[in-house]
Structures are given as structure tokens and as C-alpha cells.
Amino acid sequence: MSQRGAGVKLRAFALLCSVLCLAGTAGAQPPVEAFGRLPAFSDPAISPDGKHIAALQAFQGRPVVVIYEVGAPQARPAIVASNDSLIDGIEWVKNDRLAIYIKKGMEVGGDDRVRTWRRTETVSLTGGDPVLLNENQHSLNFNVNGGAIIDRDLDDPDLAFVPLDVENLDNEFAFNVMAVNVRTGQSHRFMAGNTHTNEWFMDGHGHVVARIDQTDDPLTDHLKFYDGKDWHDAGDFDATGDKGAGLVGLTEDGQSAAYIGWDEKKHKALSAEPLAGKGDASILFANTSYDLDEALSDEWTGRIVGASYADDQMRYVYFDDKLEALQRGLEAAFPGLSVHAVSTDLSRQHVIAAIEGPRQPLAYFYLDRTTHQAEQIAETYPDLVPTDLGEMKPYPYKARDGLDIHAYLTLPPGSTGKNVPLVVMPHGGPEDRDMLTFDWQVQFFANRGYAVFQPNFRGSSGYGHKFIEAGIGEWGLKMQDDVTDGVKKLIAEGVVDPKRICIVGGSYGGYAALAGAVFTPDLYACAVSFAGVSDLPRMMSAEKSDHGSYSDTVSYWMSRLGDDSDHLRATSPARHADQVKCPILLMHGENDTTVRIRQSEVMYDALKDAGKDVQFIKFSGEDHYFTLADTRVRFLTEVEKFLAAHIGPNAPAAGK
């Protein structure tokens, strides 16, 4: 495959901002497109010198890059679109150079499995002069992931640093750090790794500080630090499951390494250990009730400057007094909402802040800290107003074995909360969680008259390792019972009509929807799975084929599901399609490499063979993540029809 085939060049052209900025009008019932279109504005980033803002915006159902000049509202922005790939993110690498991450699903080398190929290109402030990073490296052709920037080194006008698997004289691939000229795309080897190296860490100023080599049998992370001359062993770590070295970067002073691990109370925490090995480790962040969600890094140096966690909404904590004061000031300005700075210039005097809540779709504000002026610069769903959206509240309950389950219930606008039809929406992951935030699917269903229930069943993230452990080996069993128990509580309290309940989910949530239809067939009037898992042995086989039997990915799934083939078959919905009583709607993207479309095909075939009521819709060009607006709109349109037919006011289920 050629480099150009893997990298897909970008093209630049100019459009007026008014073409991209959507104007919304309030109505009794907004059209499907008001919820299903791509966010009108996302991923904003300020250039290091604060003179430009780049962001992703939606144009003709696909993301494009827009580059604005700060303080020049009349200037036409530069617009950059991909030819036939999807733009997946942006990052400033220099004051006058923007990196654009692109991805494409491709079949390669006679293998009929689609793979997601990722590349990075940089463009000028006008959106022109695109170059593919590492384009002079023949080995780029063999890298599925090529060009993710790990250090920009703002001290150098031209260089950035990118890890890449490069073929050596022995025809083996070593994971090296490449120094790349961001204006030409040309690169050379900066630091050599080996066949086991899988991760690099740099200091924000063009210096390598650490790497991780991973070996198998047993799967082990070997952490090594670099002092500028020599490498030093910093310990070996069990890398099975979700274990491993846990290194995320350097602390802001550059004197310690920051690690993610489990504290004494089995909550995920962030700690620091001096690089020189002198002195004790210290806790940077820990919470007694909730896990660390993410280590927050400075966008210019990569140094770890804070932490986030979620109770019912996202919270942000910073270790630097000035950053912490900024965060508390933002929270005071937007009480009751989740708010934080998503980008700053190098001086930290110009800030883009994001605010969000269940009835407040994500919006962005630009703050000038020198003049103390702030203005809203974008909305993500401008056609929606609060009266279109349902009220979302916590709905805690106990599972049948006494385990506390956190959940959320969204009622339709104006609902009395009595005897309403219900959409059950288990999240994906399954090590993920729902919280009090805007969700385009949830609010669409609420707007159409359905209550929406989102349980954080055992195995969800955020509540400590014991809560995750409670879900090990429990797909379709206790994890599913947690969902069922919440639904039954809603029925017992008279909130929902027991004859009008549909379970809808994507990814693991799609599995839970199918498992609900199979293992509790009398509870649901219908089920919808988008990109859901249906056959666990087949899933494990695909993971081994994609990643290798001794990879950390396969090790993770083995730690969660086990390798007992009888158990996996027993909890696979596709193996028990004869137990289904309700209609099922299956949907899947043809370019999905996270859960391959074969999972839905197998479920469809099993349901058809069993004589069940099933529909199957395939989305051409779509991956796992609702990347295209056409997919989102079609998804909502089809599910709305499906719900109306089976749990709507005139559905036969309502009259049973």
C-alpha cells in the first residue's frame, strides 16, 4: 500500500463561517436532525501564541477543520476537509502549524478484515501546504497507527516527535522515536527502541525520559528511565488485565514521574515518585469514594498538572495554585454545570472553557484573563433549547444481592413521571459509566415521550476496583441482573408502564440489550443493538486474531471474561436466539474495528433461523463511534419508528 493511500492528503478551501454555524429555532418537537447532526463545534484549541483558534466543525455531515484568527471577526476562516478519510482530531504543533489526525477503514494485504489506519498531517494557518508526517519512511506503509505526536518541543521552530515502528537490518520492526520536520514531513530516527518497546515518554522540550518494553509469557511491562546518557531499569510490572506500569508522564516540575494505580482503599489514584529514586512516593490525587478519571496534562509540555474524577458530574482538580484558582472561578461563574478549561495559549492568559449539563449541550466560552472579558464562541447543538430536553436525576437503588447501584433517570419534558414508556440504555465499555451530562440519544428519546434509564451496573468504572471486580465473569449474569433490578424498581414505583419497555444500547450496551431480550424475555417489548456483541467465543477469537494471543488487549478481556468456552457460550445471546420473544433491531457500521460487524450478522442469522422478528441495518463507511451525521440521523429515525411500533401510545404492546 502506498504512503498516499495510507495517509490521504488533505485539501484546503475557504467558506464563510455562516455556512458552518447553524442557527436554531425553538419548536414543540425539533426534527431528528437537531439531535442527530454532528456537534456544530468541537475540540477547540488555541495556538501557542494565542493568535489563532482551530476547531472541528460539522459540514455536510462530516467533520472539517476550521482555523480562525483571534480578534478578526470579519476575516474568513481557513477550512480543511479530508478527501475520503475522517478527521479525528487536531493539535497545534507550532504557532503557524496545525496537526490534523485522520483515520480510514481499509482492507489491506488480501485480508478481508477492515483495519482502522491512522495518519497525521500538518497544515499552515491558511489550511494549505499539507504534509504527511514520516512520509519519507518506507516503514510507514506497515504502521496501522502512524504519526501520533508525543512531544512538540516549542523551543525548536520545526521539529516534533513521533513514535513509529521502523524496520531494521534484521527485517524486524523496532518502535523508535522519530524527529519529524512538521513543515516537510521528513523524519529521522531520534531514539531507538527495540522489538518489545511499546510506549515512549518525553519532557515537552525534546528530551526522552522513559520508555516501556513489554514482553509476554508472562506479560510484563519493563519500565526504563533515561538520564540523558544511559538507560536505567525502574522496575518490572505485571501487565495482565488492567495492570501495568501505569506511567502517564512527568510532574510539572519535571522532577518526578506520575503514575496511575490503586490506592489502599482500591480506588484509582495518581501518585508521584522522584526520578532520581531519592525520596518516597507521594499521592498527587485520590478520592475516598470515586476513581481518578484522567490525569490532566499541560497541552504544551505534556506535564501532569491535575486530575479529574466524576461523582454525578465531572470534577477537575489542579495542583498549581493559579490553575486551581482559574477552575474555581469557572465553577463560580457556571454553578451547577460541569466546566473546565479545554485549551490555553502558552502564557495561559487566553482560555477556552467548556460548560455542559443534562439540559445544557456543550458550549464554549473564550476568556481573556488580561481584560477579564468572556464571550460564548460556540454551541454544539444550537437548534435545541432547555424546554426541548428532559430533566435528568440520579436514581440510586440496591441490586438483589444488596450492592449499591448508581443510575440516572431522564423524564420526558413535562412528564408527571407516572406510567410512562421506558427506554433502558445500558452504557458501553463495559468499564465506562454514565453521569449527569447532555447525551444526544437520551435527550432525543426523552423529547419523543420516553423516560430513559441509565444504570451503572457492576463492572462500571469510577466506583473503585471492588466494583469492577464484582463484574468479572458476569456478562449476562449479575451485570444483567443489575439492569433488570433497576427496571423492576421503576415498575414497582409506578414510574413506567411495564408493558411498554424497550432496551437500547451500543457496543457492550448492545450486548446488554440482546442479553435482556434473551435472558429476561418477558421484561422487554423490544430491543435495539447498535454495534453490539452477540457471540463471546467469536469475540475472543477476533481479539486474538487482531492483537495477538499474548497482547495486553487479549489479557484484559481474558481477565474480565475468562476462557471457559462453556461459560462464554452460555452467556452469548446468539447461542440462545430461540428464547427471544420480542422484536429486535440490529444496526452496525461496516468499518467497525472495535466490535466487528460479524457480531451482528451472527445474531441476525440466529434470530432468522429461530423464526424471530428481526431487522438488520448496515451503515456503509461508518465505524464504531457514530462518526457520520447520516448514521446518527438514520439511527434515530429508525429507532423512533421502532419504538413507536412497539412501545408507543398506539403500539400493540401498550394494549397487552
**pLDDT for the residue 3:** 29
In degrees, rounded to 5, the angle at the alpha carbon of residue 560 between the alpha carbons of residues 547 and 562 is: 85
Q: Three cell numbers at 121?
A: 498531517
CA 410, CA 404: separation in Å to the nearest integer? 20
- Four-point Cα dihedral 38, 40, 44, 47, nearest 10: 120
Average pLDDT estimate for 334-352: 96
Query: Given this model, what pLDDT does residue 281 score?
Result: 87
Q: And the C-alpha cell for 189? A: 530516527
Show Cβ contacts of residue 615 under 8 Å, excluding neighbours closer than 6 positions. 583, 584, 585, 586, 642
Asked if residue 1 has pLDDT above 60, the reply is no
- pLDDT confidence of residue 106: 82
User: What does pTM read for this prediction?
Assistant: 0.93
Q: Which tens digits make up the pLDDT trace of 349-372? A: 999 999 999 999 999 999 999 998
Q: Find the mean pLDDT for residues 200-215.
A: 96
Report residue 200 as a C-alpha cell.
515512549
**332 pLDDT more than 50:** yes
Nearest to 505 by CA among 472, 537, 483, 536: 483
**pLDDT value at 260 more than 90:** yes
pLDDT average, residue stretch 110-114: 70
CB distance 304 to 270 below 8 Å: yes
Mean of pLDDT values over 108-121: 81
Question: What are the residues whose beta carbons fall under 8 Å from the beta carbon of 253, sequence distance 6 or more?
Answer: none
What value does the mean pLDDT take over residues 303-324? 97
Residues 6+ apart with CB under 8 A from 349: 50, 368, 369, 370
Q: What is the mean pLDDT of the chain?
A: 92
* Mean pLDDT, rounded, for 321-346: 96
- Average pLDDT (428-439) is 97
Higher pLDDT, 280 or 27: 280
Q: What are 466's three cell numbers?
A: 471492588
Q: What is the mean pLDDT of residues 411-426?
A: 96
Residue 611 has pLDDT above 70, yes or no: yes
The Cα-based distances of 420 to 212, 262, 410, 581 in angstroms read 53, 42, 11, 22
pLDDT band, residue 238 (cuts 50/70/90): very high
pLDDT level of residue 265 (50, 70, 90 thresholds):
confident
Q: Per-residue pLDDT tens for 8-26? A: 333 333 333 333 333 444 4
CA distances from 200 to 122, 191, 193, 205 (A): 22, 10, 9, 14
User: Mean pLDDT throughout 462-475?
Assistant: 96
DSSP code per residue over 438-502: --HHHHHHHHTT-EEEEEE-TT-SSS-HHHHHTTTT-TTTHHHHHHHHHHHHHHHTTSEEEEEEE
Q: Is the pLDDT of residue 496 over 70?
A: yes
CA 28, 33, 36, 41 torsion: positive or negative?
negative
The sign of the torsion formed by the CA atoms of 20, 24, 29, 35 equals positive
Q: What confidence score (pLDDT) does residue 19 get?
A: 34
The pLDDT of residue 17: 36
What ranges do the domains of the chain cover? 389-535+577-651, 536-571
Name every residue whose Cβ is closer than 8 Å to that of residue 426 and which is 6 or more positions away in sequence: 454, 455, 457, 483, 503, 505, 508, 509, 512, 513
Residue 84 confidence (pLDDT): 83
Q: What is the pLDDT of residues 57-68, one digit of tens each?
A: 999 999 999 999
CB 500 within 8 A of CB 653: yes
Of 644, 640, 503, nearest in space to 581 by CA: 503
> What is the pLDDT averaged over residues 616-634?
95
pLDDT of residue 8: 34
**pLDDT at residue 109 above 80?**
no
* DSSP tag of 109: T
**Per-residue pLDDT tens for 561-571?**
988 999 999 99
**Per-residue confidence at 279, pLDDT binned at 50, 70, 90?**
confident
- CA 444 from centroid of its chain's CA atoms: 20
Return the CATH number of the domain spanning residue range 389-535+577-651: 3.40.50.1820
What H or E segment, with its residue span, contains residue 557?
A: helix 552-561
pLDDT, mean of residues 128-154? 93
Looking at residue 558, what is its pLDDT? 93
Q: How many residues does the chain have?
A: 656
